[in-house]
Amino acid sequence: MRRSLASLWVAYVLMVLNVFGWLYASLKMALAHGDAPVALAKPINGAMLLANGAADGATVFGGAWWRLITAQFLHVQPLHLALNLVGLYCLGRYVETALGAMRFAAIYFGAGTLGMLASVVAAPALVSSGASQAILGLVGASLAYLSLVWRDMREWRWPSRFALGLGLLYGAIQISLDIATVHTVKSGHLAGLLAGFALGYLLTWPAKWRGTRHATNEQAAIPARTRERL
């Protein structure tokens, strides 16, 4: 892995924003119903989610396209948020370390937005929210990255391997739940996964190709006798 964990920041900012989005909507619902301590443990209803930036067919196709992004920071209940935070922590650190902050942000928001759009198209009457599409995009990006650099995994430290393993386990559990249950949001999850893989491959392959070409040119520039001593 190329970057130290101390240089990471996008994944942590996204985690804070996800917590803030859920807490803000929960507190607004608590104030509306007058049961603040209890409301934090209750699922947030669809009307409150929509009032705070969630997406459905009527709002998105009515011109509020920005909801495809804001909806990614709203979660229905604490467990929903907690599971996504675990996935974001493990996969976010891995992808941001491997590809850098800007590529990581592009994958997260690209996969999340396309996944959210797929959810809205498949079920326009339902309220869509959550970061699952974006995090499954990170699963796809991780798989794309591994397909290109798997030979270098022996050089990784065990915390990186462990975090990646947990992140991929999250993806496997989410996909298994999608297969086992009947709900239309699986289209959004699938779109996020595929978009993440495509973006991960496109953003990884040029850098890997340039690095391989640079290494080959450097190797060719070393005299034969010098190479024999290496």
- C-alpha dist (Å) from residue 62 to 57, 69, 120, 160, 230: 8, 15, 12, 43, 65
Residue 175 pLDDT exceeds 60: yes
Residue 85 is predicted with a pLDDT of 92
Residue 212 is predicted with a pLDDT of 42
For residues 191-216, average pLDDT:
72
Residue 7 is predicted with a pLDDT of 63
Which segment, 127-136, 158-167, 199-208, is predicted with the most confidence on average? 127-136
- Structure token digits, residue 165: 């393993």
Angle between helix 158-180 and 186-221 (nearest 10): 150
Length of the chain: 230
| Residue 79 DSSP code | H
Q: For 60-88, write each residue's pLDDT tens digit.
A: 999 999 999 999 999 988 888 998 998 89
- Report how far residue 91's alpha carbon sits from residue 149's, in angstroms, rounded to the nearest whole number: 16
DSSP H or E run through 66: none
Name the residues annotated as catalytic. 132, 189
Q: Which residue has the higher pLDDT, 53 or 165?
A: 53
- Structure token digits, residue 198: 């495509």
| Residue 55 DSSP code | B
Residue 205 is predicted with a pLDDT of 72
Amino acid at 164: L
The pLDDT-based confidence of 35 (bands split at 50, 70, 90) is low
Phi/psi at 40 (5° precision): -65, -25
- Structure token digits, residue 123: 């079920």
- Report how far residue 188's alpha carbon sits from residue 127's, in angstroms, rounded to the nearest whole number: 12
Locate the DSSP E strands across the chain: none
- Report how far residue 91's alpha carbon sits from residue 165's, in angstroms, rounded to the nearest whole number: 9
**Cβ pair 41, 66 in contact under 8 A:** no
**Cβ pair 219, 162 in contact under 8 A:** no
- Structure token digits, residue 189: 């999850």
- Report how far residue 219's alpha carbon sits from residue 230's, in angstroms, rounded to the nearest whole number: 11
- Report how far residue 9's alpha carbon sits from residue 227's, in angstroms, rounded to the nearest whole number: 41
Over pLDDT 70: what percentage of the chain?
72
The pLDDT-based confidence of 229 (bands split at 50, 70, 90) is very low
Average the pLDDT over each of 48-62, 63-77, 154-168 and give the range with the smallest value: 154-168
For residues 107-128, average pLDDT:
94
Residue 197 pLDDT exceeds 80: yes
For residues 21-47, average pLDDT:
79
Site of tokens 């996944």: 115
